Amino acid sequence: MLEIKAQSTTKLSRTKKGVFQQLIAHVCLILLGITFLFPFVWMLSTALKPEAQIFKWPPEWIPDQFLWSNFPEALTFVPFGTYVLNTLTICIWAMVGTCVSSALVAYGFAKIQWPGRNVLFMIMLSTMMLPSQVTMIPIFVIFKKIGWVGSYKPLIIPAFLGGAFFIFLLRQFFLTIPQELSEAAKIDGCSEFRTFWQIILPLARPAFATVALFTFMNNWNDFMGPLIYLSDEKMYTVSLGLQQFIGQYGTRWGMLMAASTVATLPIIILFFFAQKTFIQGISTTGIKG
């Protein structure tokens, strides 16, 4: 009887300890979430303030007068709709190119045995250590000589050549898929490409969602690429459009923050609807090496 009571007391103490640890973890996550939310809240607050209130000290989070007119004025100050369509064109094509090319290369590294596979994979990973500033000028010279500067080609075509990080991400996910599935497909007469298309790809949707989301975010927020390669204002992206609110003699801070808020919404909405698949793709990647 005493042993039963001791066991129940031990289980109860473990349960309380587990609940306390979960409570601490949730409190820490909530505090971190609030911290990361501050910039967005401040941006939205600034977008609704009159110019005179933006630089008041101490800062005022709630506007004295909600200036909703900043939003329509910001969207008409520059052809914002055109910039959004231009950016979506680049993002969609880059997503398609990155997913297709990176998946094919990752499948070759993960599921096909060939001499020098691991060595070449390490060489590919080593390219991630090169800063973009080192390759920026040589790549620009190449695109200049082939006549691509001034078009969307330098921003889209490289996506169809794969990316080292995304190849690594997909390879690690493909390694978690049992090899027996591929072998069974080959016994049934499937070619390598059919095995890849009908067996591996349907199982790798979380990883593809992660790659697509990362690619969309990178291209949506990209400023340096469009700044280097685009010269026609009609072809500008959202990031270049936001720069036009910064003038030589002053900055329209209210309209800039309003336009920035609108530019941030697609990323937030996309992550909100894809967060489960995104988290699943991240959490199940890298289990096997």
Nearest to 206 by CA among 100, 91, 285, 93: 285
Sign of CA dihedral 123, 94, 204, 101: negative
Question: What is d(CA 166, CA 106) in angstroms, rounded to the nearest whole number?
Answer: 8
Sign of CA dihedral 79, 82, 84, 86: negative
Q: Which of 102-106, 182-186, 247-251 has the highest mean pLDDT?
A: 102-106
* pLDDT number for residue 8: 58
Q: Does the pLDDT of residue 249 top 60, yes or no?
A: no
Span 276-287, pLDDT tens digits: 766 665 555 544
Going from the C-alpha of 109 to that of each of 151, 206, 207, the distances in angstroms are 33, 19, 16
Question: What is d(CA 280, CA 289) in angstroms, rounded to the nearest whole number?
Answer: 18
Going from the C-alpha of 142 to that of each of 123, 137, 139, 283, the distances in angstroms are 23, 9, 5, 38
* pLDDT number for residue 26: 87
Place of tokens 């001791």: 6
Higher pLDDT, 280 or 159: 159
pTM for the complete prediction? 0.81
Phi/psi of residue 246, nearest 5 degrees: -95, 105
Nearest to 86 by CA among 220, 278, 247, 252: 220
Span 170-185, pLDDT tens digits: 998 888 888 888 888 8
Scored b (16 or more CB within 10 A) or e, 222-259 reads: beebbebbbeeeebbbbbbbbebbeeeeeebbbbbbbb
Span 188-234, pLDDT tens digits: 888 888 888 888 888 888 888 889 888 998 999 999 999 999 988 89
